[in-house]
Chain A
Amino acid sequence: MTADHPARSGAGLSVTLAILLVLLSLVSLAIGYAPLSPGEVLAGLFGMGSEEQQLIVQQIRLPRVLLAWLIGMGLGASGAALQGLLRNPLAEPGLLGISSSAGLGAVLALYFGANALSLWLLPGAAMSAALLATLVLYAMTRAGTSNLTLILAGVALASLASALTSLALNLAPNPSDVQDIVLWLMGSISDRSLDDVRLALPFVLLGLMLLLATGRSLDLLALGEGEAASLGVDLPRLRALVIFGTALAVGAGVAVSGAIGFVGLVVPHMLRRFVAYRPGRLLLPSALGGALLVLAADVLLRTIDTRQELMLGVVTALIGAPFFLALVLRARRDML
């Protein structure tokens, strides 16, 4: 046996993605209403440029970049982990109803005007709802249900959450509330501050740690649940790690950005072949790739001149859906 070739370990892939992410982040900090040169960006970032440059880079553009990282990492890693856990290439955070439950929490906060009371109420409601959905799912896995039941329960939760969201829209007392809710549901990271980053950061990081801890177990799960368990995989613990990790990473993301779809589905697909199809090795590259995709979508919508700024969730779905369809059509055999 030869030792693992670096190209197959996924380390090279992660380094490449990380470099691309840093470069694109610098681009994102440079472009905008007042374009900055790379030197000015670095100067502004590290507190050496003019006061105006520092303000633009640190206060206006940096939160946007950091949020793109956090949201994308959460979505990418949880997509990869869910696909590995459920042994299903169609799994993604939206499938288990975690995203839509978080969305519902935020919509309820908007509906009852909680936003006017405190800036923390909306994200708090979103995360509470995500956690509630998670606890329901987790209780089901404790009862020893199969992965299929988990998927079905997730679909039911997602439907319930979107029905209640529609109900809130239906009953909204005035049109401006409806507009607030609809815009929020489209997902965006514009006009966010470092407070939003501080709010999401601990939860996303903790979620990512839980998700990344599942790598070996997900590899073994390729053999099926029985054989994986016979090799020492603790299935209830694995399910708990993935579910709670997803709730934290995605719930916190949705709480500050709204619903952003397709990232968790598309990114693991694009990267799977580069890690020799091993589900465990896919986690870190998917986190980085997710961040890269969300940031790229955000840079794109900022460069396209439209009457009203495009919403991030709309752009990721517009890029993601056709791309995904093309992938499916081109390589039906490789869809595994």
Chain B
Amino acid sequence: MSRLDVQGVAVRLGGRTRLQTQDLTVDGGQMLGLIGPNGAGKSTLVKAIAQLVAHRGECCLAGEVLERLPARERARKLAYLSQDDRLQWPIAVRDLVALGRHPYQGSWWRGGAASVEDQRAIETALRATDVWDLRARRADTLSGGERARARLARVLAVEARLLLVDEPVAALDPRHQLSAMTLLRSQCTAGAAVIVVLHDLTLASRFCDRLLLLDGGAAVASGSVDEVLSDQHLRRVYGIRALTGAHGAERYIVPWAIDARSDSNAPQGESL
């Protein structure tokens, strides 16, 4: 099982502690949602686990300490999608997705020739994200939604056991938000551990198995969706009141109003 154990991770930036979280565990097949207001440290935590920022503490994936793995080996085990979706050069979609196979390919003098296995992984990723028909298109001619799917295809092409995805749906319309989340969910079903940063609380509650609520670089709450997305937490951390309700077994949470008061007289979340 590709179980991720994060222990004692703390990040210092510019002389002050930017992030200090409790230990957390994500089992293979599970999706952990990171939520919290802007600047809460969500992206920093994801980068620390991806070994992109210096930090204290250790991240173990399936018993192997990520901090001590050679970069190339680590690159096969985890795939990271950044929040920044700018692509400087208008390369073709298939070239973009093929970059995800780099950790498996030979050295530079062989030009990173794609093996049969690479070709299969690239095709699978292109089809899974529904960009197969766009594979010859230049990335700068894609719509925002198409580009987001192409970038997800690049991440899937790594075929990693741990996916670290920073705000994958921020720029997407509702339909593509749902399809992107469904796609990540299907990676869980295939056995991957997924950590996803989200702002949309309904998507977080519907698609994630567990949530970690961060604020000011520290964990405020961690656990099941119901435990974390309580009215009290929403008021305290986001400073909002939300309308919540249920559709079948699933919850929806609609941010409704800024909560000016933090006293106990503030109205509880209403049901629609």
Contacts and interface: CB of A to CB of B under 8 A. Distances in A.
Interface of A: 1, 3-4, 9, 87-88, 213-217, 219-220, 222-224, 226-227, 229-232, 234, 272, 276-279, 336
Between A3, A227, A230, A232, the greatest number of chain B beta carbons within 10 A of the residue's beta carbon is seen for A230
B52 interface: yes
A241 to B, nearest CB: 11
A196 to B, nearest CB: 31
25 contacts: A1-B94, A1-B119, A1-B122, A1-B123, A213-B108, A214-B108, A215-B108, A220-B102, A222-B88, A222-B89, A222-B96, A223-B82, A223-B99, A226-B82, A230-B50, A230-B51, A230-B78, A230-B164, A231-B103, A232-B75, A232-B102, A272-B89, A278-B89, A279-B89, A336-B89
A329 B114 CA distance: 38
B181 interface: no
Contact of A336 (B78, B79, B88): B88
Interface residues of B, number: 41
Contacts of A216: 102, 108, 111-112
B86 interface: yes
A279 B95 CA distance: 12
B92 interface: yes
Interface of B: 47, 50-52, 71-72, 74-75, 78-82, 84, 86-92, 94-96, 99-100, 102-103, 108, 111-112, 114, 119, 122-123, 135, 138, 140, 154, 158, 164
Contacts, number: 90
Nearest to B141: A333
A3 B119 CA distance: 9
B99 A226 contact: no
Contact of B79 (A213, A215, A222, A230): A230
Contacts of A1: 94, 114, 119, 122-123, 135
B217 to A, nearest CB: 19
Given A1-B94, A87-B88, A277-B90, A232 B74 contact: yes
A4 B87 CA distance: 22
A223 B138 CA distance: 14
Contacts of A231: 75, 99-100, 102-103, 158
Instruction: Find the residue from A9, A88, A222 having the highest chain B CB count within 10 A.
Output: A222
Given A9-B111, A232-B74, A276-B95, 17 more contacts: A3-B114, A87-B88, A216-B108, A216-B111, A216-B112, A219-B99, A223-B87, A226-B52, A226-B80, A230-B52, A230-B80, A231-B75, A234-B71, A277-B90, A277-B92, A277-B138, A279-B89
Which DSSP category, helix, strand, loop or mixed, fits chain A's interface? loop
Contacts of B135: 1
B205 to A, nearest CB: 28
Closest 10 CB pairs of A and B: A230-B80, A232-B75, A87-B88, A226-B82, A1-B119, A277-B89, A216-B108, A232-B71, A232-B72, A231-B102
Contacts of B91: 222, 276-278
The listed residue with most B CB atoms (<10 A of its CB), out of A1, A219, A224, is A1
A226 B155 CA distance: 13
Nearest to B103: A232
Contacts of B51: 230
Contacts of A9: 111
A220 B47 CA distance: 18
Given A213-B108, A216-B108, A223-B154, A230 B75 contact: yes
Nearest to A272: B89
A231 B138 CA distance: 22
Nearest to B120: A1
Contacts of A215: 108, 111
A230 B47 CA distance: 9
B155 to A, nearest CB: 8
Nearest to A282: B89
A220 B99 contact: yes
Most chain B CB within a 10 A radius of its CB, from A3, A214, A227: A227
Contacts of A87: 88-89
Contacts of B140: 336
Nearest to B79: A230
Contacts of A277: 89-92, 138
Q: By CB atoms of chain A within 10 A, which of B75, B111, B112, B122 has the most?
A: B111
A276 B92 contact: yes
B72 A222 contact: no
B108 A229 contact: no
A333 B103 CA distance: 32
A242 B122 CA distance: 30
Contacts of B108: 213-217
A274 to B, nearest CB: 13
B6 to A, nearest CB: 16
Contacts of B86: 224
A278 B95 CA distance: 8
